């Protein structure tokens, strides 16, 4: 997977899974492009890494920013693109903030779609590359009451990724496209989404190490931990209404008091 002269590009690189991808890919020798809103965090991270790091600050909730980011990447040889930026929210749909949800759709869906498509065309022309869309196990479940918008956005990502991966396979493309679908991961996601996970989360490092290993095997849907793999497999055999009721029960456990 490593081609040292090619860049690894990571969106949402200022924290959590994105930050861990930056650390792991730097150790593998990749020069990096780190993308996020918080420049101070990106600068701090870049100083901790051993390989060359370039920083692009961008708010991917604005569509024009997605095109600007890609324009800044046009002249670079890119071997790995981690499409990681995203966030969630928890609460009753009738009560959650509409603007936050629209921003979530922009970041989790539109930005992922735009950057994936533009990057895929670039890599296809170059004849090689890896694209990983960071989704969630939520995207493999029929629906998620009390996190309705978040589940819907991640379902979009998993569906899009699997469809495009099959198109690439049938065409004999050397470009890899996959999606990372973890369960709970110990990151800042919890505070942004206003939740406390009922299940114990795995570390971002373990999540990323597993993802990179499976990317090397060209696995399309990557689900870290045996527990989540079994849960996703078991869920396929449940009637959809039952599965949704179970999801609702689990989401209610996540509400933060106050």
Q: Catalytic site residues?
A: 150
pLDDT in tens, 12-34: 999 999 999 999 999 999 999 99
- The reported pLDDT for the residue numbered 58 is 96
- pLDDT < 70 regions, the chain: 1-5, 186-200, 228-229, 231-258
What CATH code is assigned to 7-252?
A: 3.40.50.720
Q: What is the 3-state secondary structure (H, E, C) of the chain?
A: CCCCCCEEEEECCCCHHHHHHHHHHHHCCCCEEEEECCHHHHHHHHHHCCCCEEEEECCCCCHHHHHHHHHHHCCCCEEEEEECCCCCCCCCCCCCCHHHHHHHHHHHHHHHHHHHHHHHHHHHHHCCEEEEEECCHHHHCCCCCCCHHHHHHHHHHHHHHHHHHHHHHHHCCCEEEEEECCCCECCCHHHHHCECCCCCCECHHHHHHHHHHHHHCCCCEECCCHHHHHHHHHHCCCCHHHHHHHHHHHHHCCECCC
The pTM for the full model equals 0.86
């Amino acid at each position: 997977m490593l081609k040292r002269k090619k860049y690894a590009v990571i969106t949402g690189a200022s924290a959590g899974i994105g930050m861990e991808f930056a650390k792991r890919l730097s150790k593998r020798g990749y020069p990096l492009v780190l993308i996020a809103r918080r420049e101070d965090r990106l600068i701090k991270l870049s100083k901790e890494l051993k390989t060359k790091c370039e920083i692009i600050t961008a708010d991917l909730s604005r569509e024009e920013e997605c095109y600007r980011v890609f324009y800044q990447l046009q002249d670079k040889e890119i071997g790995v693109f981690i499409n990681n930026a995203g966030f969630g929210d928890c609460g009753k749909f009738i009560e959650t903030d509409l603007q936050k949800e629209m921003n979530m759709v922009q970041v989790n869906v539109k930005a992922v779609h735009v950057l994936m498509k533009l990057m895929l065309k670039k890599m296809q022309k170059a004849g090689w590359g890896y694209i990983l869309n960071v989704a969630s196990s939520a995207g493999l479940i029929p629906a998620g009451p009390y996190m309705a918008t978040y589940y819907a956005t991640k379902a979009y990502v998993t569906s899009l990724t699997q469809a495009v991966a099959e198109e690439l396979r049938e065409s004999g493309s050397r470009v890899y496209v996959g999606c990372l679908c973890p369960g709970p991961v110990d990151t800042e996601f919890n505070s942004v989404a206003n939740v406390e996970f009922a299940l114990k989360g795995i570390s971002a490092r373990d999540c990323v190490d597993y993802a990179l290993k499976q990317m090397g095997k060209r696995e399309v849907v990557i689900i870290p931990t045996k527990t989540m793999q079994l849960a996703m497999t078991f869920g396929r055999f449940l009637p959809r209404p039952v599965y949704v009721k179970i999801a609702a029960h689990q989401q209610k456990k996540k509400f933060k008091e106050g």
